[in-house]
Each structure stands twice: as structure tokens, then as C-alpha cells.
């Protein structure tokens, strides 16, 4: 019987690597050596989960630098190196250098890193979360290669405390499932997974820096990085940048979950020791308010639960790791018990509670600073300037057809349950107070609400064109803003409001209550859903309520459904309006929809609405303004 062959160690590994036989083996990737580089200080309670998670994700190698540990973090990583599952390196920090840049300087020359095919630098409170394919790096990198890409720019997703105060031994990635909205740009820092060649790249915290000698060569044209949704990044990001922008943001494929605060108790322990960059004032209430974002639930991480937990159980079967892990946890718990008896702890809890109450719209990541174009230009190399100028010349010489203006989304694609009470600003918009609730509204909508301009064109024009004393049937009414406004300014109307989405119905009820729009004979919620048969529901509601005006905002009534239903509507409304989410989804089909209306004798679009936002049709042509 042949003896089992010892697995081949990774390129660049030390003699210590894999010297202790262990059941869990290093992952072998079809994409070669795929390495995570990180830095840790006193992360003992979390090391096992971080390692298990990133083994489950599919990294072949984990290179971790430690400095000044007092809780056994370094000893745990040394043991993991002996077991063949990680590489521990000492971060001996030169005077005047911060720990993180110091570690990256060492990693630039580290044999394991230099021999890697793909490298990603990230911190101990960051966990990679892959939506694409089976959730592994193998499938993610394969998808990038299919698009001839050699890098993926992964954007942060900030996860808050979720209201958790007490310390818990439960996995971080299962305890904290509430996050910032994806369109909250203050959380758009990035980390980069890329093909590493130390001759061409200098490792960086957020992205690598192209070495100067290669900038004015054909090399930049060989760099193709994708964003977190698989779309190609813009050319400028090859040279500079550390965060996503509106044009480059994407989370469809992958994101980096950033658990910067965890529970109040975890934060209290962390605040009393240093951090990886020696920023003594970092863990204050301002940092908490920035990082404690809990507006949207994201439980994508739960896809890893089974794999990760199996690895955690296996790792803790090793007696040395088991002892070191539990010693670190018990040390943290003993320290917490000590500080909980102090006035400083009580003051911290109160301070963090006040910080959590700060609405997301009032959070500032740093003091506001105007964009200094001259400073940016001075930092740009001549090559960057030349490439940028050429791109502009190409656009002028070969102008592309300008796309039509599209309505921006007002509601999140999948609104979160707004039932939990969170701190919200209520802002007067026309005659209605609206909540600046990021669980419901998109970033553009929140900006409009803050300015008092939510659906301004609709709110101004609709009261002027609706028939006197008529019944208005509003299908897909969203948060109910238009109906509440009309109830205030057109008390002669009978308003019938319908919405399928449970989260929006709940928001509508809250807004109605806030604005005193109680249900009455002239203001009623329609207990009907358009799903699963929008055509049948639409015909039935029109036949039952006989509206003079029909407002359609639910995209479930597709242009095809609308064209089929128009000949059968009875009795015919005098007016029909397409607005809101309908326009967001079906604006591209507006010309065909106009033709379908015209074929049935309807006139439109008319009444002076912005045709990119609202299209109104009538049985009689409206007089020209």
C-alpha cells in the first residue's frame, strides 16, 4: 500500500509550513496561488472565524503580519502555519512608519506573496462576500478571466452593530446582518484582487500602485480591472483612486463586508487598545456614527455558514489552537467584566447611543473639502494627462449618441422592512412630511426629500389637471406621497390607493398617520394586489371603482399588458397617467406605448408633464398651454 503523498507546499513557504499533520488541507485553486495579505493586533477572539471564512471562500494562502500582540494572536497564526493553513510574519515597525504601511513594505518582498498569481490586501475586520456563482474565488476569478480581466475592484459594504450591545461568542458574520445602503457613497472605499507581479506593482492598502518605470509603456493597456458587478473600471483607476464613484460602483458579483464596530461591548474593548495604524483618536463617537450603519439587511454571508462552521470545528480540534482561542476569548471577557464596572464604560455606552441616533444624511466621513482640480492635476503624471486628453479628443471626434434622460429611481429595488424604529428626519415636501428613510428611498430620492422637492413636478402639475370631483385610482402608489398631497390640495377628489410591496405599504401607513391622512370615504386603501395577474386585477378594479383618472406606477403592468387591456377597460377613465416606477422600468418603450394609446383613440402625452417622468393620456385632447 502506497504511503499518502505529502501535499506540495506553496511557493515561497518557510520550513515551518505544514510541519504538523492536520486533516484540513490547503485549498488548491485552478487559478494558482491566490493570497490574502492582512495585518492583525490582538484579534485573538476573531482569528479562527476570519481564517475559516477565507479558507471557505477559496484563498489558497493567508499571509498575516502581527505586531505587539498580547492576547495570543501571533501564537495562533504560528500554529496555523505549522498546520499548513496560513503564513505568520512579524511586523517589526521602523520608527516613523505606521504598522499597516510597514507590513505592506515587508509583503512586497515576501516570497509567498511575490510567487502568488492573485493577491488581495485587506484587514482583520473585513470579510470577502461573493454573490457570483457558488460564492468561491474559483468561480469569481474564472468569470473575470472570461472577460479578459486581471483584477477586480471590490467595494466596502459597511455593517453596523445592528443594535447589539452585549458581547457574544457567535460568529461576526452571523451576528451583524444590517448594513449601509449600497448607494451610500461614504462607504465606498475599495480593496483590489489582482494579478500581482512585484516588478510592475507596489502593494497598497486599497489598490496597488503601478511602478513609475512602467507607466509610460504599453503595460497600462494590458491592465483590465472589473468592478464588483463585473463591469470594466475606467482608465483613470489604473493610476489612482481608493474608492468607487457613482459610475464605477457595483455589488452584484462581490463586496467586502466591513465590520468596523461590532457590538458596543466589542467596541469598548477595542477602544482601550491601539489599532493597526496607531490612530489614538480613531475609536470615538464620530467613528461609531460613521460605521454603525444599520439601514438595510444583507444576509448574503449566510451562504457560507455550513462551510465556515465545519472549518471552525475542524480547527478547534487541534488542541493548541483550541487552547489559544479560548484563552483569547476568556481574556477579552475578563477585560470586559472589568471595564463594565467603570464610569468610563457607562459614559461610552451613552455616547454611542447618541451617535447611533444621528440620521445617515447627517454623517460626514471627514471635514468637507472642495475638490481641488489644480492639486489633482499636479499629482497626475504626464502619461495620465496625455491619456486623459486623448480620451477627451476621441469623444469629441467620435461623439456617441447622447442617451435620453431617464427617470431616476425613487425607491430601493427591494425595500427593507421599515418597521424597526430608527432615527429619521421628517422633512416638509410640498404639503406632506416625508421621512428620510434610506431603507425605502434611494440616495437621489433622499436628496430630493432633504431639499423638499420629492416628485416636485408631479406634485405641482397633477392637482391642476385632474377632473373636478373625480375618482382617482392610484395603482402602485409607493409611499402614498401623491395621494396624501392630493388629499390636502384637492379635497373634492376621491382617492383610492393601492400598493403591492409590503415595505412600501408599511411606509405609506406611517406617512399617512404622520400627516393626518386618515381613511375616509374620500381616501381609501384598496385591498388588492396586481400580482399574479396584473391584467385581470386592473380590469376588475376599474370596473368596480369607475375612476375618472387612473394613475399607473407599478411596472408589473407591462407595456404589453397595457396594450392588451386598453381595448377592454370599462368604463373608460377620462385620464390615464404613467409615472414613478413604471417610467423607471419602461421608459425605453414609451414610443410604443404612445402608439398603443393612439391606436385606441387616446391623446398624449399631454398636460405639460416632463415626459421622462410622467406621461398623461386623455380621451380628449387637452388645450395647448
> Which three three-digit cell numbers place residue 326?
479560548
CA distance 278 to 91: 14
Of 514, 487, 488, 484, the C-alpha closest to 499 is 484
- Cα separation of 226 and 141, whole Å? 11
Cα 19 → chain centroid? 41
C-alpha closest to that of 492 among 512, 517, 521: 521
Closest CA to 159 of 190, 189, 181, 132: 181
Query: How far out from the chain centre does Cα 347 lie?
Result: 32
For 554, phi then psi, to 5°, come to -90, 120
Amino acid 416: pLDDT: 74
How many residues would you count in the chain? 625
Task: Tell me which residue of 472, 488, 484, 457 sits closest to 580, measured CA to CA.
Answer: 457
Which stretches of 244-386 are assigned E, i.e. beta strand?
Answer: 254-258, 296-297
- Looking at the DSSP bridge assignments, the partners of residue 39 are 65
CA torsion 458→484→426→183, rounded to 10°? -50
H helices of 188-233, in order, are 212-215, 219-222
Over 80: is that where the pLDDT of 407 sits?
no
Instruction: Identify the three-state secondary structure at position 429.
Output: strand
Q: What is the pLDDT of residue 281?
A: 53
Is the pTM value of this prediction over 0.75?
A: no
Q: pLDDT band for position 377 (50/70/90)?
A: low
Please give the sequence-ordered ranges of beta strands (E in DSSP) within 285-330, or none if there are none. Answer: 296-297
Percent residues over pLDDT 70 in the chain: 92
Contact criterion met (CB below 8 Å) for 262 and 132: no
CA torsion, ordered 321, 324, 330, 331, to nearest 10 deg: -150
pLDDT of residue 321: 98
Which of 165-174, 371-380, 602-611 is least confident? 371-380
Degrees, nearest 5: CA angle 126-132-133: 125
State the CATH class of domain 426-618: alpha beta
pLDDT(112) > 60: yes
349: pLDDT strictly greater than 80: yes
At 27-75, the pLDDT tens digits run 999 999 999 999 999 999 999 999 999 999 999 999 999 999 999 999 9
- pLDDT confidence band for 443 (50 / 70 / 90): confident
* 121-151 pLDDT tens trace: 999 999 999 999 999 999 999 999 999 999 9
pLDDT exceeds cutoff 50 at 548: yes
Supply the pLDDT for residue 240: 86
Residue 314 · residue 24 · CB < 8 Å: yes
Q: Where are the domains of the chain?
A: 34-358, 426-618
Rg (CA), the chain: 29
HEC profile of 28-61: CECCECEEEEEEECCCHHHHHHHHHHHHHHCCCE
pLDDT at 369 over 70: no
Mean pLDDT score of the chain, rounded to an integer? 90
Residue 2's pLDDT is 47
Asked whether the predicted pLDDT for residue 502 surpasses 90, the reply is yes
CB 293 within 8 A of CB 438: no
Residue 274 scores a pLDDT above 60: no
Report the relative pairing of strands 471-475 and 432-435 from DSSP bridges: unpaired
Dihedral of alpha carbons 39, 40, 46, 52, sign: positive
User: pLDDT tens, 215-253?
Assistant: 989 999 999 999 999 999 988 899 988 999 988 999 999
How does DSSP assign 318-337, residue by residue? SHHHHHHHHHHHHHHHHHHH
What does residue 49 show for φ and ψ, rounded to 5 degrees? -65, -45
- Enumerate residues 6+ apart whose C-beta is below 8 A from 572: 619
Whether 267 and 288 have beta carbons less than 8 Å apart is answered as: yes
Please check whether residue 110 is in contact with residue 89, taking contact to mean a CB–CB distance below 8 angstroms.
yes
Do 441 and 411 form a contact (C-beta atoms < 8 A)? yes
Amino acid at each position: 500500500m502506497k504511503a499518502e503523498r505529502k501535499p506540495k507546499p506553496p511557493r515561497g513557504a518557510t520550513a515551518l509550513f505544514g510541519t504538523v499533520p492536520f486533516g484540513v488541507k490547503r485549498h488548491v485553486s485552478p487559478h494558482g496561488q491566490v493570497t490574502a495579505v492582512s495585518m492583525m493586533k490582538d484579534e485573538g477572539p476573531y482569528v479562527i472565524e476570519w481564517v475559516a471564512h477565507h479558507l471557505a471562500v477559496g484563498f489558497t494562502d493567508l499571509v498575516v503580519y502581527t505586531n505587539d500582540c498580547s492576547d495570543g494572536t501571533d501564537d495562533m497564526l504560528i500554529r496555523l502555519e505549522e498546520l499548513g493553513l496560513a503564513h505568520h510574519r512579524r511586523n517589526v515597525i521602523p520608527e516613523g512608519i505606521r504598522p499597516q504601511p510597514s507590513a505592506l513594505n515587508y509583503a512586497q518582498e515576501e516570497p509567498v506573496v511575490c510567487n502568488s498569481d492573485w493577491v488581495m490586501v485587506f484587514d482583520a475586520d473585513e470579510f470577502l462576500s461573493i454573490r457570483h456563482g457558488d460564492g468561491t474565488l474559483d468561480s469569481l476569478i474564472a468569470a473575470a478571466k472570461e472577460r479578459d480581466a486581471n483584477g477586480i475592484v471590490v467595494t466596502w459594504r459597511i455593517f453596523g452593530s445592528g443594535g447589539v450591545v452585549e458581547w457574544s461568542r457567535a460568529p461576526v458574520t452571523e451576528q451583524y446582518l444590517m448594513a449601509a445602503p449600497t448607494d451610500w457613497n461614504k462607504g465606498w472605499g475599495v480593496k483590489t484582487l489582482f494579478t500581482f507581479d512585484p516588478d510592475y506593482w507596489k502593494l497598497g492598502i486599497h489598490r496597488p500602485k503601478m511602478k513609475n518605470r512602467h507607466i509610460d509603456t504599453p503595460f497600462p493597456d494590458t491592465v483590465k480591472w472589473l468592478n464588483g458587478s463585473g463591469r470594466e473600471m475606467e482608465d483613470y483607476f489604473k493610476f489612482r483612486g481608493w474608492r468607487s464613484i457613482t459610475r464605477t460602483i457595483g455589488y452584484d458579483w462581490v463586496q467586502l463586508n466591513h465590520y468596523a464596530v461590532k457590538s458596543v461591548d466589542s467596541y469598548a474593548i477595542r477602544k482601550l487598545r491601539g489599532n493597526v495604524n496607531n490612530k489614538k483618536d480613531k475609536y470615538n463617537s464620530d467613528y461609531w456614527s460613521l460605521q454603525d450603519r444599520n439601514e438595510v439587511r444583507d444576509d448574503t454571508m449566510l451562504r457560507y455558514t455550513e462551510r465556515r462552521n465545519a472549518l471552525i470545528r475542524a480547527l478547534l480540534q487541534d488542541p493548541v489552537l483550541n487552547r489559544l482561542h479560548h484563552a483569547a476569548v476568556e481574556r477579552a471577557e475578563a477585560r470586559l467584566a472589568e471595564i463594565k464596572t467603570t464610569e468610563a464604560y457607562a459614559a461610552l455606552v451613552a455616547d454611542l447611543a447618541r451617535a447611533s441616533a444621528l440620521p445617515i444624511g447627517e454623517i460626514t466621513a471627514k471635514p468637507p473639502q472642495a475638490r481641488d482640480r489644480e492639486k489633482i492635476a499636479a499629482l497626475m503624471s504626464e502619461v495620465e494627462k496625455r491619456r486623459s486628453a486623448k480620451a477627451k479628443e476621441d469623444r469629441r471626434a467620435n461623439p456617441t449618441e447622447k442617451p435620453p434622460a431617464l427617470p431616476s429611481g425613487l425607491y430601493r429595488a427591494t425595500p427593507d422592512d421599515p418597521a424597526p424604529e430608527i432615527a429619521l428626519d421628517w422633512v416638509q415636501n410640498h404639503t406632506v412630511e416625508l421621512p428620510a428613510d434610506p431603507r425605502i428611498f434611494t440616495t437621489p430620492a433622499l436628496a430630493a426629500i432633504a431639499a423638499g422637492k420629492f416628485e416636485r413636478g408631479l406634485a405641482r402639475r397633477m392637482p391642476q389637471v385632474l377632473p373636478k370631483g373625480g375618482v382617482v385610482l392610484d395603482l402602485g402608489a409607493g409611499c402614498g406621497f401623491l395621494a396624501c398631497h392630493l388629499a390636502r390640495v384637492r379635497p373634492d377628489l376621491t382617492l383610492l390607493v393601492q400598493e403591492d410591496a409590503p415595505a412600501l405599504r408599511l411606509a405609506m401607513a406611517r406617512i399617512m398617520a404622520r400627516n393626518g391622512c386618515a381613511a375616509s370615504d374620500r381616501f381609501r386603501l384598496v385591498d388588492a394586489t396586481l400580482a399574479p395577474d396584473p391584467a385581470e386585477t386592473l380590469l376588475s378594479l376599474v370596473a368596480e371603482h369607475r375612476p375618472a383618472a387612473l394613475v399607473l406606477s407599478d411596472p408589473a403592468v407591462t407595456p404589453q399588458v397595457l396594450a392588451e387591456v386598453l381595448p377592454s377597460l370599462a368604463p373608460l377613465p377620462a385620464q390615464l397617467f404613467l409615472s414613478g416606477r413604471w417610467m423607471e422600468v419602461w421608459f425605453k418603450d414609451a414610443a410604443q406605448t404612445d402608439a398603443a394609446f393612439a391606436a385606441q383613440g387616446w391623446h398624449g402625452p399631454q398636460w405639460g408633464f416632463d415626459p421622462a417622468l410622467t406621461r398623461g393620456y386623455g380621451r380628449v385632447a387637452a388645450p395647448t398651454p
